[in-house]
Structure 1
């Protein structure tokens, strides 16, 4: 039977953890992305440490000796990535204390607006106090990484994890396939929207859902959270060959898309269009039809121009293009919406 054990990490001062940060994996697969805290939130954390406030617990997964030999890492962060990255970036002088910072131990000491280096030069004892602050780190030992992923999901249940971040914590074969698809060039080079909250994972999951539902029922279904989550759970294990088949089909379509779109393509500016384009390129591949970017660009311009025409005189506008425009704004994960937009763009492009 699998086990999971926890205990406080000894001697976990800020300076020690900073000195060992190369031995800490900050982005295990179940983690959400870093770098999304506001400057004000970062400053508040450093304020709390300097003024001796408690901060929330940080959880580390302690690797086995074998895992250490393979990865060169001793720990990975289960929860607390943003806090650690904030502390490390303060030490690296990437931001300063807020302009209204007050040092509560001695109101005569003015640290407002100071960097870590400023404090080290002007108030070395306070710098030592900061370095010696003991971080509340809990070490987790387990023989089953799925328990780690489950723990991460549970720890963040009260935090604003979005659907893609929660799904990423499920683990398993399908989640791994989602990650791998999201690393293809379409996402790393061509799309304009960022992946700071796993937006690329979300689109990749929708593509795989199209293929899994096609296999199961030969039908297109809603690409909503409930169906994406169900897919990730259903194909978590024992269906690796099927998952790889879905992934290969998706990869083939994506590679076709990559030859048409340019880097940071304005046509790929939102997630809402991505499923429609996928279906369009899949159909073109099946029927051996070549899609060129000029046609897609011209269609996009016709939709925009038609919107302007409707603003001046609604009766002069093309109804189907207006409907495509409307559907592109609302309910883009509804199967009826996807089908209708796919029909309109297909007919306009002659595909």
Structure 2
């Protein structure tokens, strides 16, 4: 059923007083549906004033219902108050839409049949609610990356079985093995189907619609809109800090002395790592050892059953040592398993090997792993520098899994900034303040730190970049100008998983040997974290009291403002923390009016609130200025003095 069809039903609502799902919310009456203007007009019982909203609000909700059968209007529209309430009420009063609560939030449900009269509300039956909640729970826990890996392994197994059948038995197929693989396909398919409930009458779904419920998968660390990389955009250009002249050939092209195919064995790779002849983690590399136990075990199982694994790429320095360009997770997994650092888990084919480490495997299995042949490309570089290696890393990884924005920044702008961001992200202060929930995968933790550091450096008033990525790049370039930073890791590449780790597992920082700018940034950053813990408690950096999701824009806002707050105000703020916290969350949920209006008339007309500025288009100047001005105005109102928040470098320029 297309949106134009349901407009006919919405026209039948004209003149009826429609109740909202929340009984405390005002009723509304649709007064007109204007197809030419693509708007509908309505009035609320609370004020009687005629207002309008675009069809697009209704259509967005309807498309979400078509795709997922359920929709949380607040998540779909990212609006508050009447911006959300009006379209939600209209859709809920259609005879084939019901409502229910999930995770303390209202949801609409496209039932598929007319279950109640037009212009009335109907709560979904308990049996339907149970199914819907189960589907949403499954969607929350559904890991698409893990699923992709499982599916890819199954396809590889299927392909291997077909090849075996064609080569060894050209006249027949190995039906037993094919049957086993077919069952694996069915298991994966059922896992996917368990994430949604589909009404029978829906014959097709729009293939080009991206579900906003996809954002539910990342509730463990950051809000989805911010994970994607703010406003997207092209990669930043290199601004003349790198000198490629040593790596250029006569045609001004990046050159290598030699690229050779070098088949080697797992045992030889292990030997090189044991003698520190392979560099695991240069500044531009992704984090080491971030694979789950399931993924690591799957790699070992693939080797044991004879499946091929992807090609490795190494750059060879002048002294003969190697730098991993592509294959970091696979390399560390092989080394750690042979070193008995983990045991096998969740094996699908060799289940009798579950819970066994390398030394516990039968000798034939150990030999099969050690002698397994790896396909490696060795790239010899002319000069003993990282310039060529970074270029190779960037190009090779571009053709594989798409790199995150922070991974690209670290590849293009290596130096002291990378070391500084990594130190903070792995420090105990950061881990404790963020509940140990910000995953190092794809450098999400470093990007979170960088956002706050950038505002501490430059403030917010003069933000003029068209892309937030450019703002973060500018911060890394500024930090790279300061060469001296001394930080040490007990075990390079170790990933800290818990704020309760032993003290000797945390990185250390040498203030006396580091540039004063790094010392000041670190001191302000850690003081801001302590103040946030004191003021907000367990609700710090979250959009609601008792919430579970760390909001990236809130983290950047709170940490940078608290870091730049003059010491004389901190004691007074602590004394009034209960009042401040209460007013802050009222500002977020729209219970109190914003302190400062939008710069843009467009946002004023749409009646956007503070919650919108920390949820949508968060990297635009208009939303940055709005949320900072409101937060600082709230502080000023509480402290009784107009605050002026300026970045460290912003002050130095004056």
Normalised by the shorter chain, which TM-score bucket? 0.7 to 0.9
- C-alpha distance in 2 between matches for 1:258 and 1:303: 17
Let me know the Cα RMSD of the aligned residues.
3.9
Shift of 1:218: 7.3
Task: State the match for 1:41 in structure 2.
Answer: 295
Whether 2:319 is the aligned partner of 1:319: answer no
Distance 1:116 1:220, change over 3 A: same
Whether 2:310 is the aligned partner of 1:56: answer yes
- C-alpha distance in 2 between matches for 1:149 and 1:295: 50
Task: Output aligned runs, 1:250-289, within 5 Å.
Answer: 250-251=521-522, 253-254=524-525, 256-258=527-529, 260-262=531-533, 266-268=539-541, 269-281=550-562, 283-285=564-566, 289=569
- C-alpha distance in 2 between matches for 1:195 and 1:224: 24
Equivalences, count:
319
Kindly indicate whether the alpha-carbon contact (under 8 Å) linking 1:90 and 1:115 is maintained by their aligned counterparts in 2: no
- C-alpha distance in 2 between matches for 1:119 and 1:275: 48
Task: State the match for 2:403 in structure 1.
Answer: 161
Q: Give per-residue Cα distances to partners, 1:162-185, cap 9 Å, x unaligned.
A: 111111111345xx3243145245
Kindly indicate whether the alpha-carbon contact (under 8 Å) linking 2:587 and 2:594 is maintained by their aligned counterparts in 1: no
Instruction: State the TM-score, normalizing by the size of structure 2.
Output: 0.42
Shift of 1:338: 1.9
Q: Give per-residue Cα distances to partners, 1:236-271, cap 9 Å, x unaligned.
A: 98x668xx7976774464254255344997524432
- C-alpha distance in 1 between matches for 2:413 and 2:554: 27
Whether 2:463 is the aligned partner of 1:220: answer yes
Distance 1:40 1:336, change over 3 A: same
Shift of 1:205: 3.4
Give unpaired runs (5+ residues) of structure 1. Answer: 69-73, 103-109, 311-316
Q: 2:624 aligns with which of 335, 338, 344?
A: 338
Task: State the match for 2:269 in structure 1.
Answer: 17
Give unpaired runs (5+ residues) of structure 2. Answer: 1-245, 248-254, 484-514, 542-549, 596-607, 637-642, 644-654
- Please state whether the residue corresponding to 2:260 is helix, strand or coil: strand
Whether 2:376 is the aligned partner of 1:151: answer no
Kindly indicate whether the alpha-carbon contact (under 8 Å) linking 1:34 and 1:81 is maintained by their aligned counterparts in 2: yes
- C-alpha distance in 1 between matches for 2:414 and 2:587: 46
Task: State the match for 1:115 in structure 2.
Answer: 356
Task: State the match for 1:29 in structure 2.
Answer: 283
Task: State the match for 1:347 in structure 2.
Answer: 633
- C-alpha distance in 2 between matches for 1:210 and 1:20: 43
Distance 1:116 1:209, change over 3 A: closer
Of structures 1 and 2, the one scoring higher in RCO (CA 8 A, sep 6+) is: 1
Task: State the match for 1:88 in structure 2.
Answer: 335
Q: Give per-residue Cα distances to partners, 1:39-70, cap 9 Å, x unaligned.
A: 443333223212222211112233443xx9xx
- C-alpha distance in 1 between matches for 2:326 and 2:612: 41
Distance 1:58 1:295, change over 3 A: farther
Shift of 1:116: 4.1
Report which of the two structures shows the higher radius of gyration computed on alpha carbons.
2
Distance 1:13 1:200, change over 3 A: same
Task: State the match for 2:376 in structure 1.
Answer: 137
Instruction: State the TM-score, normalizing by the size of structure 1.
Output: 0.73
